Amino acid sequence: MAFARAVTIAVRYTTVRRQFRDRDDLKGPEVAVLDGLAHMHSLSSGLKSFCTDLVADGIETCRRALGGHGYGGASGFIRLSPDYLSRVTVEGDNWMITQQVAAYLIKRMHAAVANIDSATGNETEDLYKEFLRANRVESI
């Protein structure tokens, strides 16, 4: 319980705190500590969707490999399947959070196309820009 409170305090503080001024632009604004919150949400949502789908499909494949015995109480799947298969929809249905990840990636691609030559602190956008610049050179 104490750790949960400590994390809550730290997250709230770093959400509003600003630091890390740009070395090249000393008069510019400082960057928020948790500026990558949307990026982190996208990563965690994508990971949750991928992992829960992978495990749920794996459990079903293993159960089917046992044939009719997979439905028997001695197999262990009777307890395992209902316990884990709800994870696909708990805390955000995988279809919905996968759409959130796609929306984030599309926004980052639009931003990369709009400012292809400027540097950003966003890892995803920088990867898109690198890809776009490489394809631009190849097309010349």
Same domain, 50 and 79: yes
What is the tens place of the pLDDT at every residue in 70-101?
A: 778 788 877 777 777 777 777 778 889 999 99
Tell whether pTM > 0.75: no
Same domain, 110 and 124: yes
8-state DSSP, 92: S
Token digits of residue 132: 């776009």
Same domain, 120 and 84: yes
Q: Position of tokens 């292809």? A: 116
Give the residue-averaged pLDDT of 102-115.
90
Same domain, 40 and 95: yes
Number of structural domains, the chain? 2
Reference 46, options 108, 95, 7, 4; nearest CA is 95
What is the tens place of the pLDDT at every residue in 37-68?
A: 788 888 889 999 998 888 888 888 888 888 88
Angle at 12 between CA 10 and CA 17, to 5 degrees: 90
Contacts of 122 (CB under 8 A, 6+ apart): 36, 39, 108, 111
- Is the CB of residue 71 less than 8 Å from the CB of residue 77? yes
- In the set 30, 60, 91, 130, the catalytic residue is 91
Helix (H) or strand (E) segment spanning residue 32 = strand 31-32
- Average pLDDT across the chain, whole number: 79
Same domain, 118 and 49: yes
CATH number of the domain bearing residue 104 = 1.20.140.10
Distance between CA 33 and CA 18 in Å, rounded? 6
- Is the CB of residue 80 less than 8 Å from the CB of residue 86? no
Same domain, 99 and 71: yes
Same domain, 4 and 48: no
Catalytic-residue membership of 91: yes
Domain coverage including residue 15: 1-35
Helix, strand, coil tally for the chain in percent (to 5): 75, 5, 25
CA quadruple 123, 127, 132, 137: dihedral sign: positive
Q: Indicate the SS3 state at residue 18.
A: strand
